[in-house]
Copies of this chain bind each other. A is one copy, B any other.
């Protein structure tokens, strides 16, 4: 297994090349941390971008869909695979510079280019759904009722091989021009992170069932 993905013309940015990364572990860490992805494909009327959930298993990215949803229908109509771009983005901070021009966002993103295929094999579909559940919180797949045959048939899963993949990362402080350093504007970073609050039990949950450890903040 190579330690890095091979850059291609499509995964080589035209600007800020120093922010691009192809290291397999770095790419996987971003994909695994992001709760949702944005799936782009060419619909009947032009490009379409929809949020959905994803999970990675080795070098396969699984995407959740519903059998009647747009991406599933488009993928079913493309037996050799539906060209897609799957992008995940973690927002880590607001970067405030003295100059308007140098404002930025600290982020970690991954762009996956490839052909999405419909997962039809029931065993692979079950495995994918298990990954999608454990992606929410590791341990959840083993702590719920698994899908029955009817439910499995009603759930759509797409998969994309991780081959043409890149990450882009910005970290750290604002970069102002030296001549702006003395301007009277606050400059720095406001850190941002997605925080989990206290779990809210369903109204009809048996009060004897505790919040599982895997949901502890």
Residues of A within 8 A of B (CB): 9-10, 14-16, 35-36, 38-51, 53, 66, 68-70, 73, 83-87, 89, 91, 94, 96-101, 103, 105, 107, 109, 111, 113, 129-130, 132-133, 136-137, 140-141, 143-147, 151, 154-155, 173-174, 176, 180-206, 209-212, 215
Distance of A192 from chain B, by nearest CB (Å): 6
Contacting residues, chain B, for A140 (C-beta < 8 A): 96, 103
Residue pair A15, B105 in contact (C-beta under 8 Å)? no
Residue pair B188, A91 in contact (C-beta under 8 Å)? no
Distance of A32 from chain B, by nearest CB (Å): 15
Residue pair B40, A89 in contact (C-beta under 8 Å)? no
Residue pair A100, B66 in contact (C-beta under 8 Å)? no
Bound: A186/B143 CA distance, A: 8
Residue pair A187, B174 in contact (C-beta under 8 Å)? no
Known: A40-B40, A68-B14, A109-B51. A197 touches B205 (CB 8 A): no
Bound: A35/B39 CA distance, A: 19
Residue pair B186, A215 in contact (C-beta under 8 Å)? yes
Can you sample 17 A-B contacts with CB below 8 Å?
A: A35-B192, A41-B47, A42-B47, A46-B84, A53-B105, A100-B133, A100-B141, A100-B145, A101-B151, A101-B154, A144-B183, A145-B180, A173-B202, A184-B206, A186-B205, A193-B195, A195-B195
